[in-house]
Amino acid sequence: MILVAGGTGRLGSLVVRRLARSRLHVRVLTRDVTRAQHLSDVAEVVVGDVRDRLSLDHAMRGVTTVVSAVQGLAGPGNVTPTSVDHEGNMHLVDAAAAAGADVVLLSVVGAAASHPMEIFRAKYAAEQHLRASTAKWTIVRATAFLELWAEVLGKGIVFGRGDNPINFVSVHDVAAVVELAVVDRNLRGQIIDVGGPDNLTFNQLAAELQQVTGRSRQVRHIPRWLLRAISPLARRPAAALVMDTIDLTFEASPTAVPELRLTDTLTALRMATSAR
Phi-psi region of 97 (alpha: psi -120 to 50; beta: other; left: phi over 0): alpha
Residue list 193-232, contact with ligand NAP (CB under 6 A) = none
Nearer to ligand NAP, 117 or 215 (CB): 117
Distance CA 89, CA 132 (A): 13
Residue from 170, 169, 90 nearest 123 by CA: 90
Residue 37 binds to ligand NAP (criterion: CB under 6 A): no
Q: Characterise 75 by phi-psi region: left (phi > 0), alpha (psi -120 to 50), beta (else).
A: left
Q: Which residue is nearest to ligand NAP (CB)?
A: 9
147-166: contacts with ligand NAP (CB under 6 A): 148
Q: Which amino acid is at 14?
A: L
Select from 50, 63, 166, 262 the one that contacts ligand NAP (CB under 6 A).
Answer: 50
Which of 112, 118, 188, 178 is closest to 145 using CA atoms? Answer: 178
If one asks whether residue 12 binds ligand NAP (CB under 6 A), the answer comes out as yes
Among 2, 8, 27, 39, binds ligand NAP (CB under 6 A): 8
Q: Which stretch binds ligand NAP (CB under 6 A): 31-39, 110-118, 208-216, 242-250?
A: 31-39
Number of H helices, E strands in the chain: 9, 12
Task: By CB under 6 A, tell whether 99 contacts ligand NAP.
Answer: no
Contacting residue, 39, 70, 209, 243, with ligand NAP by CB under 6 A: 70
Strands 166-169 and 198-200: antiparallel
- Point out which residues bind ligand NAP (CB under 6 A): 5-6, 8-12, 29-32, 35, 49-51, 69-72, 75, 79, 84, 88, 106, 108, 142, 144-145, 148
